[in-house]
């Protein structure tokens, strides 16, 4: 088609009047003038023209537009859909109405945003077109105009990005994460697909801001976001909700073994040191995990479940992950109540101090006792330090707890005979309070304890504060004459720089290296040997904690560990028990424990369901391991019988009876259980609520037709029920 004819179709056949220089004379615009006018428009770059044949191949495109297309081979004659691709409202390629669909409809369209394919840089056009119908009513193709909207589109995309992405870290913001989670859950609900949600809270981040400044804190947040993007899970959406809280959406993952591994990887990544403008920073992470549809069907339900799991992870000691469980709501309420009453407990006699002996490896003689805080709550009973100390950190009570612990431990130790020392843990929050050295001096003066009999255990977290302040605090403590120990060595980001800066007398080998050190192919034994050699070169002593079995004791003695602590000698006991033993003159502790360390088997006493064929029985779970369980409740079940153990919450484990005596069966799971993040066990997969309802419809609870007799194990009788 001639340019003249195409332009007539674009602009219309009629010619309007144009005013000449003389106001009383009108002359029509000739075709030549009109063509020149439109060619001027084309050459200016303000707009172009295009046309296709009925099959969608370009028959005309303005020269200025052709110059922008990066393509091998001719442009004219190529399908328009090969040159440009549709951009949706969210900036994603494809959009709701692909260009091919629009052209195939043979209808008018206006300002359709498209991107040039194969362009070395982002370039967008706006296309307007309408069908060309000949006199016989036959479709002859499209005629239309185009204009370059790259600048406007880029600006709009940047504005949309600002609305959906965090300006500090570049991660998705709360608004985008909420929309993405809604979209996933809505799309997956009908197909019964799963979607995992991970909530991540940074541990000790406030300490970074307080000690290194907010600029350093911002840099840490940026680096955290970058590390989370590297978790390596396809389809993962990473966002920052605000403050130090992040969120990750993992579509189509419900394997809790895999999710636990991902959570551990996140914790390890986040816990590595950060280089900032103000110095080295070290933080941790706690992770809460919930999975749809098991833990919630809507965004609000799933977020609430993940939030409860995160609260449990932080309450369990931090640096951990937790899966949502139905009992977490009551646990969260219990922790809230503990937080409210902890302040009152500090001013009452509810807090107490127990002491665990630290013995010399060569002769088992006690050289020190570690002071371990205990809380006998009037309503809840014994509340462990793993529960209330993280709560104290959140409430800013760690310094007060530390002052109380120092006062109580030194007062008790002052009455011990000889030169037996007392070891007291110092939290990073107490260390950074600026009052630690003054408190130590005042307590030693009030209690009369010799400074050489007080040991302060600090972790490497104290090195993450302001370096001059850290060095000054260490110098003052050393001047008082107290001994210093580096606790939990090797569990975080310990380095020789820490040992060089801190004037330590002792390195404490963490229990995680002792556990399993006697197992074949376990590297912990080599790690212990290396730590002992390092300490010896630096003229420091070593102590191994958490020793429970004879093979562990032998292994930590061999490389020359100086002191040992653990259940194999004694648990932590009240001060009156310590005083009675020391008064008798018995200063040695003989090791008592199993010959070999074995994997922990958790004793449990709870009701479970047992399904055989189409019948369900009630039973009691006595103990549980990764590979099996001991159950009671069914009489004379033959070895080799296949059962389904219902552990609750959609956890169905296929098992085979391996041992059977009377009403007790030892079963082996077809698929081993995995860690639930709380030192417990759970199934890898769960049955969704829909599937569980279907399974329940097939199970018969009636006693008639049952193969086995069910007994009342709670009453220890053989009464059939």
Q: Which residue has the higher pLDDT, 99 or 176?
A: 176
Residue at token pair 């080799």: 640
Which token pair is 623? 């103990």
- Annotation: CATH topology of 602-715: Thrombin, subunit H (2.40.10)
Asked whether the predicted pLDDT for residue 717 surpasses 50, the reply is no
- The pLDDT value recorded for residue 525 is 81
Confidence of residue 321 (pLDDT cuts 50, 70, 90): very high
Q: Contact at 8 Å (CB) between 645 and 667?
A: yes
Query: Per residue in 482-496, pLDDT tens?
Result: 999 988 776 655 556
Asked whether the predicted pLDDT for residue 719 surpasses 80, the reply is no
Q: Does domain 165-326 have CATH number 3.40.50.1970?
A: no
The Cβ of residue 316 has, within 10 Å, a number of other Cβ atoms equal to 20
Crossing angle of helices 205-212/214-228, nearest 10°?
140
Rounded to 5 degrees, what are φ and ψ at 597? Answer: -75, 135
Query: Per residue in 277-317, pLDDT tens?
Result: 888 888 889 999 999 999 999 999 999 999 999 988 887 77
Confidence of residue 257 (pLDDT cuts 50, 70, 90): very high
Residue 720 CA to residue 664 CA, distance in Å, equals 15
Query: Per residue in 51-96, pLDDT tens?
Result: 999 999 999 988 888 888 877 778 899 998 888 877 654 444 444 4
Residue 245 CA to residue 451 CA, distance in Å, equals 42
Residue 522 CA to residue 559 CA, distance in Å, equals 16
- The pLDDT value recorded for residue 694 is 61
Where along the chain do its domains lie? 3-14+29-156, 165-326, 353-583, 602-715
- The pLDDT value recorded for residue 91 is 46
- The pLDDT value recorded for residue 16 is 45
Share of residues in the chain with pLDDT > 90 (%): 37
Q: Mean pLDDT, to the nearest integer, of 387-392? A: 79
- The pLDDT value recorded for residue 604 is 63
- The pLDDT value recorded for residue 25 is 56
Which token pair is 484? 């210093």
- The pLDDT value recorded for residue 710 is 81
DSSP string, 21-33: SSTT-EEEPPHHH
Q: Which CATH architecture has domain 353-583?
A: Alpha-Beta Barrel (3.20)
The Cβ of residue 497 has, within 10 Å, a number of other Cβ atoms equal to 11
Q: Contact at 8 Å (CB) between 513 and 490?
A: yes
Q: Does domain 3-14+29-156 have CATH number 3.30.450.20?
A: yes
Residue 103 CA to residue 53 CA, distance in Å, equals 11
Confidence of residue 391 (pLDDT cuts 50, 70, 90): confident
The Cβ of residue 595 has, within 10 Å, a number of other Cβ atoms equal to 8
Q: Report which secondary-structure segment, H or E, holds 311.
A: helix 299-315
Query: Per residue in 164-188, pLDDT tens?
Result: 889 899 999 999 999 999 999 988 8
Residue 694 CA to residue 686 CA, distance in Å, equals 14
Query: Per residue in 426-449, pLDDT tens?
Result: 988 888 878 899 999 999 999 999
The reported pTM is: 0.63
Q: Which residue has the higher pLDDT, 457 or 100?
A: 457
Query: Per residue in 28-60, pLDDT tens?
Result: 667 676 677 677 777 666 788 899 999 999 999
Query: Per residue in 323-364, pLDDT tens?
Result: 998 877 776 677 777 777 887 787 777 789 999 999 999 999
Mean pLDDT of the chain: 83
Q: From residue 696, give the alpha-carbon distance in Å to each of 5, 240, 291, 660, 687.
A: 74, 41, 22, 27, 11
Asked whether the predicted pLDDT for residue 146 surpasses 80, the reply is yes
Share of residues in the chain with pLDDT > 70 (%): 83
Residues contacting residue 65 through CB under 8 Å, at least 6 positions apart: 48, 50, 125, 146
């Amino acid at each position: 088609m001639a340019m003249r004819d195409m332009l007539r179709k674009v602009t219309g056949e009629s010619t309007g009047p144009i005013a000449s220089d003389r106001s009383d004379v009108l002359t029509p615009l000739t075709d030549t003038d009109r063509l020149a006018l439109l060619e001027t428009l084309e050459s200016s770059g303000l707009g172009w023209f295009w046309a296709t044949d009925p099959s969608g191949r370009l028959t005309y495109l303005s020269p200025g537009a052709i110059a922008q297309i990066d393509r091998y081979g001719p442009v004219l004659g190529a399908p328009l859909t090969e040159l440009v691709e549709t951009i949706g409202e969210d900036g994603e390629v494809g959009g709701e109405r692909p260009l091919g669909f629009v052209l195939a409809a043979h209808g008018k369209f206006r300002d359709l945003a498209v991107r040039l394919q194969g362009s070395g840089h982002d370039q967008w056009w706006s296309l307007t077109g309408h069908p060309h119908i000949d006199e016989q009513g036959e479709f002859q193709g499209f005629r239309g105009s185009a204009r370059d909207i790259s600048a406007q589109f880029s600006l709009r995309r940047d504005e949309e990005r600002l609305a959906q992405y965090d300006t500090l870290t570049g991660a998705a913001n709360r608004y985008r994460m909420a929309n993405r989670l809604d979209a996933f859950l809505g799309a997956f609900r009908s197909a019964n697909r799963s979607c995992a949600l991970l909530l991540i809270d940074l541990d000790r981040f406030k300490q970074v801001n307080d000690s290194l400044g907010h600029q350093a804190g911002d840099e840490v947040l940026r680096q955290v976001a970058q590390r989370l993007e590297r978790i390596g899970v396809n389809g993962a959406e990473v966002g920052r909700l605000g403050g130090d809280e992040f969120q990750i959406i993992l579509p189509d993952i419900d394997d809790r073994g895999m999710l636990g591994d991902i959570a551990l990887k996140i914790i390890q990544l986040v816990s590595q040191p950060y280089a900032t403008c103000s110095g080295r920073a070290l933080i941790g992470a706690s992770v809460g995990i919930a999975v749809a549809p098991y833990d919630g069907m809507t965004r609000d339900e799933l977020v609430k479940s993940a939030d409860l799991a995160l609260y449990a992870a932080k309450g369990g000691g931090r640096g951990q992950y937790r899966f949502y469980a139905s009992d977490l709501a009551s646990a969260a309420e219990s922790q809230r109540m503990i937080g409210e009453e902890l302040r009152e407990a500090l001013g009452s006699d509810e807090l107490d101090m127990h002491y665990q002996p630290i013995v010399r490896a060569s002769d088992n003689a006690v050289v020190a006792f570690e002071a371990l805080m205990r809380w006998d709550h009037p309503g809840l009973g014994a509340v462990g330090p793993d529960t209330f100390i993280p709560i104290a950190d959140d409430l800013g009570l760690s310094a007060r707890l530390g002052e109380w612990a120092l006062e109580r431990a030194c007062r008790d130790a002052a009455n011990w005979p000889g030169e037996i020392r007392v070891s007291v843990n110092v939290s990073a929050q107490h260390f950074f309070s600026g009052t630690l050295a003054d408190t130590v001096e005042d307590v030693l003066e009030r209690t009369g304890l010799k400074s050489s009999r007080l040991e302060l255990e600090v972790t490497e977290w104290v090195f993450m504060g302001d370096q001059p302040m850290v060095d000054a605090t260490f110098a003052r403590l050393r001047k008082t004459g107290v001994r210093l120990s580096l606790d939990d060595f090797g569990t975080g980001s310990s380095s020789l720089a820490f040992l060089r800066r801190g004037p330590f007398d002792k390195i404490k080998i963490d229990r995680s290296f002792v556990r399993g050190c006697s197992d074949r192919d376990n590297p912990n034994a080599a790690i212990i040997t290396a730590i002992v050699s390092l300490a010896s070169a630096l003229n420091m002593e070593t102590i191994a904690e958490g020793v429970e079995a004879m093979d562990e004791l032998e292994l930590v003695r061999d490389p020359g560990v100086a002191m040992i602590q653990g259940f194999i000698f004694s648990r932590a006991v009240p001060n009156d028990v310590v005083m009675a033993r020391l008064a008798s003159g018995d200063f040695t502790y003989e090791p008592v424990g199993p010959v070999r360390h074995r994997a922990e088997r958790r004793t449990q006493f709870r009701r479970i369901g047992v399904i055989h064929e189409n019948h369900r029985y009630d039973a009691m779970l006595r103990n549980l391991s990764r590979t099996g369980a001991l159950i009671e409740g069914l009489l004379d079940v033959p070895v080799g019988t296949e059962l389904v153990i219902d552990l609750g919450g959609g956890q169905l484990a296929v098992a085979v009876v391996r041992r059977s005596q009377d009403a007790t069966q030892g079963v082996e799971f077809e698929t081993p259980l995995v860690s639930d993040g709380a030192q417990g066990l759970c199934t890898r997969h769960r049955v969704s609520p829909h599937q569980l309802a279907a399974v329940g419809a097939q199970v018969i609870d009636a006693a008639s037709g049952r193969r086995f007799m069910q007994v009342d194990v709670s009453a220890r009788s053989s009464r059939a029920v």
